Amino acid sequence: MSSIKDFASHFFVTGDPLIYGADVSIVLVSLAIVFVLTYYKKWGWLWREWLTTVDHKKIGIMYMIAALLMLFRGGVDALLMRMQLAWPNVHFLKSEHYNEIFTTHGTIMILFMAMPLIFAMMNIAVPLQIGARDVAYPYLNAISFWLFFFGAMLLNLSFVIGGSPNSGWTAYPPLSGLEFNPGPGENFYLLSLSISGIGSLATGINFLVTILKMRAPGMKLMYMPLFTWSVLATCIIIIIAFPVLTVALALLFIDRLAGAHFFTMAAGGNPMMYINLFWIWGHPEVYIVVLPAFGIFSEVVATFSKKTAFGYKSMVASMMLISVISYFTWLHHFFTMGAGADVNTFFAISTMMIGIPTGVKIFNWMFTMYRGRIRLTLPMLWTISFIPCFAIGGATGVMLAVAPADYQYHNSYFLIAHFHQVLIGGVVFGMIAGMYYWWPKMFGFKLDERLGRWAFWFWQIGFYVCFMPQYALGFMGMTRRIYTYPDGLGWGPLNFVSTVGAFLMGVGFIFQVWQIVYSIKYGERDLTGDPWDGRTLEWSIPSPAPHYNFAVIPHVKGPDAWWTMKQEMKKEAAVKVDPAEIKPIHMPKNSGRPFIMSVFFFIAGFGLTFNWIWMGVFGLAGVAICLLLRSFEYDTDYYIPVDEVKRTEAALGRL
Amino acid sequence: MKQRRLLNFVKLAVLSALTAVFMAGCSPDEYMVLHPAGPVARTEYDLIVLSTILVAIVIIPVMAILAYIVYRYRDVPGNKAPYMPEWADSKVLEIIWWGIPIVIILLLAVPTAKTTFALTKPPVQDVKPVTIQVTSLNWKWLFTYPDQKVATVNYVEIPAGVPVQFVLTSDSPMNSFWIPQLGGQEYTMPGMAMRLWLQADKPGEYFGSGASFTGEGFAHMQFKVIAKPQSEFNAWVTQAKQTSPGLTKDGYEKLKQPSVLSNTLTYSSYPQGLFEEIVDKNGGEYMNHDFMGNEQKDQSGNMNHDMQNHQMSDSMSH
Ligand code: HEM
Ligand SMILES: [Cu+2]
Ligand SMILES: [Cu+2]
């Protein structure tokens, strides 16, 4: 009896009202979900339509929902931290708790919010933009999603079971090693990132192949929409960078599980090797998340300026250049770790060089608007606001690249302000713009403009109020990751302002939730499939897109394929499909295995987190069996008959 | 329309509030980085100013052009600005905006490189430097003075106007040693001994802190740096030797235990070779360390231990 009690008291995190609150809400939400699904008899629907789907559009939507939930979780973390820092000597969070919160905040925001959000946009738009019926490996796509999902669940579970990781999202040894960090927290971090990392790598491969192999006839590389180009660049980075992360995490895990010393100085290991590996992945990672945002801005700017994107070739070249240079900059994350002047100089200059292609893109976006007709819709508002925000963020980035100056900025709030400016002003603004832009394509209705504008202004004002003071705090010597600070340093007022700004952004987020709920009921329905007068192929089909995307695969004759077709069609009026051209459509079958296999991954991850080898082995065996079963499965696809396609298209008014 | 006016009002209010706060908080000594008190910090500050000016040259026009374009070409009925939907490339323009950032980066790269090399040497050459060894512990700072043979915890005394060579290590997770008004930071890493030159112009008290996260008590790792004229510094040493207890091996083991100290400590002596022992026991034995701050012989040259130094000695020793 007492041993059970003892076990439970280590297993369940206790002693903090926030955690009891989380316990209660987890139980309540789970019960509510179970109740609703049972009451409305939706279990079968959930399984057939969502859990087993291999349709890229639905997977994209699931990514988006999961990412928005994680934005909420990471956002609550952020508000808790900002409350703790609002003035000197606050006793709201204890040190331990603050440390866990900034660690999970960073980890979740980068890996379980930004990453899935770009995967959401890729899934939703890329196959449609290139005139394909699905991605190259639909089944693998489902696996990627569920691995991300269960990886994220594993990390979130640490909040109430076992304890969260607490050595920062970078998890530098020796702090994250066994000696200074016993307990399951860091294991949660290592295993959840490893599991979702497999999914990310697979997505990179999947979309690279999709873009190279599945384009509609006639679509040369240089005819591809810029968003697709940005995804291509991103995939190349993912494929090269993610294996490095996997290795770094695996070695650290071996250090922790088996007492090896890859990353501690004992027995000849070296923590700097972890730091090198981490940032060889970590710096390209920021371009993995920001390049798709660049792609989205390029689409949005062209569409809402009614103009071809300016300097298409430069845009492509700059993205490719960024994907290469981003590999030669990692050391700027530790200029102050004793590297020689020669090494620091090299990495200082290579980092500054990234500013060149980025600057070029900013000018090209502006000149896409020049001599156009700018419609200030929601996606366009977010895009326009991105430009000054990212210009400032990029400028402070160049300042950070000046190595001797970075000796002063490093680990200070100046750095915190810089990376939030590029991550929020670049990635988050970009994904929000993309969400508004493609929303009608996903769901068949537009999001309400009025509520969206309120959200926009709260976010914008909140952003500057929150982060501009942090640059100043950096100059005042305030270091990052401190949970409290003494009176008398003058840090209080600016921190207070910063906290107010964070809450304004929170209000902006609430407006967006309200906007979505409101628009489900009252949002303007999109009956044309082309609500924005778009330029690329996704706007040539109905909203939401039918299961098979294109009844007839289009022929592409140049850039801005749909825009050109529309110009030609002006004479013939509406969009029609020629019934004679419809052929049976080859589609992949749904499968429950990606979901089940990911559950086994989750079980393995959970077991290894607690060093329960039997459970780890059990989970991995389950994974192996799933893989084995798949290799004996031959009946994985089917054809949609012509009649059914005709019926669908007729119902959509396209015949 | 009404809504827009309200929004404008809100914007204005927030902006003015923000400006007020910035102005109010602008007493000079609070912005430590912007008020350097020594040659190293000053060199870094000059680069900060230079880089700010250079990037401002780009982003201020960008914002102005953006505002102009959005205003001029917005889609309102009756807008007479030219509309050219097909106009999408211009060699001249693109050469200009590939060119501008390249020039700016060149202007910035040269002083960056020069300064990076300069900072590995003592800031002034004609004064004999002092060496102070720094060990970051959980969660306190230990300073040992190899020439004076005294030790302090959570504060450090230095002679003003004299280059100080800090030799840094850690007997806990790695931290980072930062005294903003004297110059930028450098990591303290277990098993390694890295060097950092700093110097104070004149006597005074400066704020120092640990900048790299090391766990629970990390937020309390702040310390004072007290710069004194050389004669007073010497007097302080003499006094410390006479009035303070000595640090023993056992004493060090106790000091090292994870805890936050609310006061400072002074020791009249410390076990000989303590610092070297700390470095070695944390893995320093695997590296080649012929420079732990005791030898004054190679002050001017290649003091900064560099990456290559780590890696080569790592793979080559044993
Ligand atoms: C939405 C408003 C946000 C606020 C108010 C906010 C606030 C904060 C705060 C207070 C910290 C802790 C700094 C410290 O401990 O010194 C932090 C750290 C961090 N944030 Fe955010 N954040 C926000 C959004 C984001 C987003 C969108 C991302 C990434 C896409 C992000 C990534 C990070 C990372 C990587 C860290 C570092 C964590 C670490 O030190 O290990 N944040 N943020
Ligand atoms: Cu980087
Ligand atoms: Cu080192």
- What's B90's DSSP letter? -
pLDDT of residue B3: 55
* B236 pLDDT higher than 90: yes
How far, in Å, from the CA of B194 to the mean position of ligand 3? 7
- DSSP result, A259-299: ---SSSTGGG--HHHHHHHHHHHHHHHHHHHHHHHHHHHHH
B178 contacts A362? CB cut-off 8 A:
no
Query: What is the residue with the minimal CA distance to atom 39 of ligand 1?
Result: A168
Closest C-alpha to A365, from A388, A395, A397: A388
What is the pLDDT confidence band of residue B28, given thresholds at 50, 70 and 90?
Answer: low
What distance in Å separates the CA atoms of residue A552 and residue A579, rounded to the nearest whole number?
9
Tell whether ligand 1 has an atom less than 6 A from the beta carbon of residue A432: no
* B21 pLDDT higher than 60: no
Which residues of chain B are within 8 Å of residue A342 when distances are taken between CB atoms? 306
pLDDT of residue B27: 57
**Taking all residues of chain B, what is their mean pLDDT, rounded to a whole number?**
86
Structure tokens at B139: 């969660």
Q: What is the pLDDT of residues B62-77, one digit of tens each?
A: 999 999 999 999 999 9
Query: What is the residue with the minimal CA distance to atom 9 of ligand 1?
Result: A78
pLDDT of residue B24: 52
How far, in Å, from the CA of A420 to the mean position of ligand 1? 7
Segment holding A388, helix H or strand E: helix A378-401
| Beta carbons within 8 Å of A357's beta carbon, 6+ residues apart | A317, A318, A319, A321, A322, A325
Q: Residue A197: how many CB atoms within 10 A of its CB?
A: 22
pLDDT of residue A364: 95
A407 contacts B215? CB cut-off 8 A:
no
Integer CA distances (angstroms), B294 to B147, B177, B299, B303, in order: 8, 20, 11, 13
pLDDT of residue A569: 81
* B308 pLDDT higher than 70: no
* B251 pLDDT higher than 90: yes
**CB–CB of B286/B317 below 8 Å?**
yes
Question: Could you tell me what percent of chain B has a pLDDT over 70?
Answer: 81
Residue A465 at interface with chain B, using a CB cutoff of 8 Å = yes
pLDDT of residue A10: 74
- Judged by DSSP in three states, B137 sits in strand
Tell whether ligand 1 has an atom less than 6 A from the beta carbon of residue A101: no
Which residues of chain B are within 8 Å of residue A355 when distances are taken between CB atoms? 101, 105
A359 contacts B101? CB cut-off 8 A:
yes
pLDDT of residue B266: 96
Q: Which residues of chain A have pLDDT under 50?
A: none
A175 contacts B214? CB cut-off 8 A:
yes
Closest C-alpha to A230, from A420, A398, A361, A422: A361
How far, in Å, from the CA of B198 to the mean position of ligand 2? 27
**CB–CB of A413/A478 below 8 Å?**
yes
What phi, psi does A605 have (nearest 5°)? -60, -45
Tell whether ligand 1 has an atom less than 6 A from the beta carbon of residue A423: yes
**CB–CB of A298/A315 below 8 Å?**
yes
**CB–CB of B137/B255 below 8 Å?**
yes
Which of A268, A366, A387 has the CB atom closest to B314's CB atom?
Answer: A268
- The bound ligand whose nearest atom lies closest to the alpha carbon of A397 is 2
Structure tokens at A447: 């999001």
What distance in Å separates the CA atoms of residue B300 and residue B294, rounded to the nearest whole number?
15
pLDDT of residue A464: 97
What distance in Å separates the CA atoms of residue A200 and residue A189, rounded to the nearest whole number?
16
Segment holding B166, helix H or strand E: strand B164-170
Q: Give the number of beta-carbon pairs within 8 Å between A and B.
A: 322
**CB–CB of B137/A365 below 8 Å?**
no
**CB–CB of A604/A615 below 8 Å?**
yes
Which of A172, A312, A340 has the CB atom closest to B304's CB atom?
Answer: A340
Residue A366 at interface with chain B, using a CB cutoff of 8 Å = yes
Q: Give the residue from chain B lying closest to A96, CA to CA.
A: B216
What distance in Å separates the CA atoms of residue B116 and residue B197, rounded to the nearest whole number?
12
- Judged by DSSP in three states, B169 sits in strand
Closest C-alpha to A174, from A111, A265, A75: A265
What distance in Å separates the CA atoms of residue B91 and residue A403, rounded to the nearest whole number?
34
Which residues of chain A are within 8 Å of residue B68 when distances are taken between CB atoms? none
Which residues of chain B are within 8 Å of residue A87 when distances are taken between CB atoms? none
Tell me which of B35 and A23 has the higher pLDDT. B35
Query: What is the residue with the minimal CA distance to atom 26 of ligand 1?
Result: A109
What distance in Å separates the CA atoms of residue A256 and residue A649, rounded to the nearest whole number?
58
What distance in Å separates the CA atoms of residue A334 and residue B307, rounded to the nearest whole number?
11
A174 contacts B173? CB cut-off 8 A:
yes
**CB–CB of A422/A394 below 8 Å?**
yes
- The bound ligand whose nearest atom lies closest to the alpha carbon of A347 is 2
- Mean predicted confidence (pLDDT) in B199-205: 95
How far, in Å, from the CA of A460 to the mean position of ligand 2? 25
pLDDT of residue A18: 80
A341 contacts B108? CB cut-off 8 A:
no
* B301 pLDDT higher than 80: no
Tell whether ligand 1 has an atom less than 6 A from the beta carbon of residue A288: no
CB proximity under 8 Å: A 12-41 to B: none
Structure tokens at A146: 């569920």
SS3 annotation, A218-261: CCCHHHCCHHHHHHHHHHHHHHHHHHHHHHHHHHHHHHHHHCCC
What distance in Å separates the CA atoms of residue B289 and residue B309, rounded to the nearest whole number?
9
Query: What is the residue with the minimal CA distance to atom 32 of ligand 1?
Result: A106
Q: Give the residue from chain A lying closest to B314, CA to CA.
A: A268
Identity of the residue numbered A112: F
pLDDT of residue A27: 84
Which residues of chain B are within 8 Å of residue A451 when distances are taken between CB atoms? none
- What's B154's DSSP letter? S
Tell whether ligand 1 has an atom less than 6 A from the beta carbon of residue A467: no
* Burial of A229 (C-beta count, 10 Å sphere; 0-12/13-18/19+): buried
What distance in Å separates the CA atoms of residue A30 and residue A434, rounded to the nearest whole number?
30
Q: What is the pLDDT of residues A362-390, one digit of tens each?
A: 999 999 999 999 999 999 999 999 999 99
R_g of chain B computed on alpha carbons = 26
Testing ligand 1's pocket by substitution, the residue of A100, A101, A105, A500 carrying the most ligand atoms inside 8 A of its CB is A105
Tell whether ligand 1 has an atom less than 6 A from the beta carbon of residue A630: no
A314 contacts B98? CB cut-off 8 A:
yes
* B181 pLDDT higher than 50: yes
How far, in Å, from the CA of A398 to the mean position of ligand 3? 25
Instruction: Give CA A20 to chain center in angstroms.
Output: 29
What is the per-residue burial (b if ≥16 Cβ within 10 Å, else e) of A426-454?
bbbbbbbbbbbbbbbbbbbbbbbbebbbb
Q: Give the residue from chain A lying closest to B55, CA to CA.
A: A395
Tell whether ligand 1 has an atom less than 6 A from the beta carbon of residue A167: no
**CB–CB of A380/A408 below 8 Å?**
no
What distance in Å separates the CA atoms of residue B185 and residue A404, rounded to the nearest whole number?
10
Whole-model pTM: value is: 0.92
pLDDT of residue B292: 55
What is the pLDDT confidence band of residue B302, given thresholds at 50, 70 and 90?
Answer: very low
| Unique residue bearing structure tokens 């530790």 | A334
Testing ligand 1's pocket by substitution, the residue of A101, A102, A175 carrying the most ligand atoms inside 8 A of its CB is A102
Segment holding B104, helix H or strand E: helix B91-118
Which residues of chain B are within 8 Å of residue A480 when distances are taken between CB atoms? 211, 213
**CB–CB of B190/A265 below 8 Å?**
yes
Tell whether ligand 1 has an atom less than 6 A from the beta carbon of residue A491: no
